[in-house]
Homo-oligomer: A and B are copies of this chain.
Amino acid sequence: MCPAATPADDIADDSARAPANHGYTADKAKLHTRLRRIEGQVRGLQRMIDEDTYCIDVLTQISAVNSALQSVALAMLDDHLHHCVAGAIANGGEDAAAKIDEASAAIKRLVRS
């Protein structure tokens, strides 16, 4: 089962009792760790600015943070396809095509951002 999209959150009662089984449930701790490390990198960027670090060195670090964030996004998207999207298709509901459209829109945002 995938968590419902925020607008259609009528499964809230169930998920209060049984924890939701997301695309990323298994990797939750790992994703959290990666995002915490990225948060530390962003704090490091602020420190670099405070300490008048050379512009190019700051830019190199920004590129590194961007790559790290993209890797998190790609990992989440992969999980989402394997679980949420595959689940919707396997269930055969009319929901499946909408799930794919939604994933495509997210991919487009990633490619363009």
Copies per complex?
4
Question: Contact partner of A2 among B55, B81, B113, CB < 8 A?
Answer: B55
Are A59 and B109 in contact, CB atoms less than 8 angstroms apart? yes
Q: Is the CB of B6 within 8 A of A57?
A: yes
Q: Say whether chain A's binding surface is mostly helix, strand, loop, or mixed.
A: helix
Total number of A residues with any Cβ neighbor in B under 8 Å: 73
**Which A residues between 70 and 113 are near B, CB-CB below 8 angstroms?**
70, 72-74, 76-82, 84-86, 89-90, 92, 96-97, 100-104, 106-113
Select one of B22, B63, B70, B82 contacting A100, CB under 8 A.
B82
Known A-B contacts: A22-B52, A64-B113, A70-B111. Give 4 more (CB < 8 A): A32-B49, A55-B84, A66-B70, A112-B112
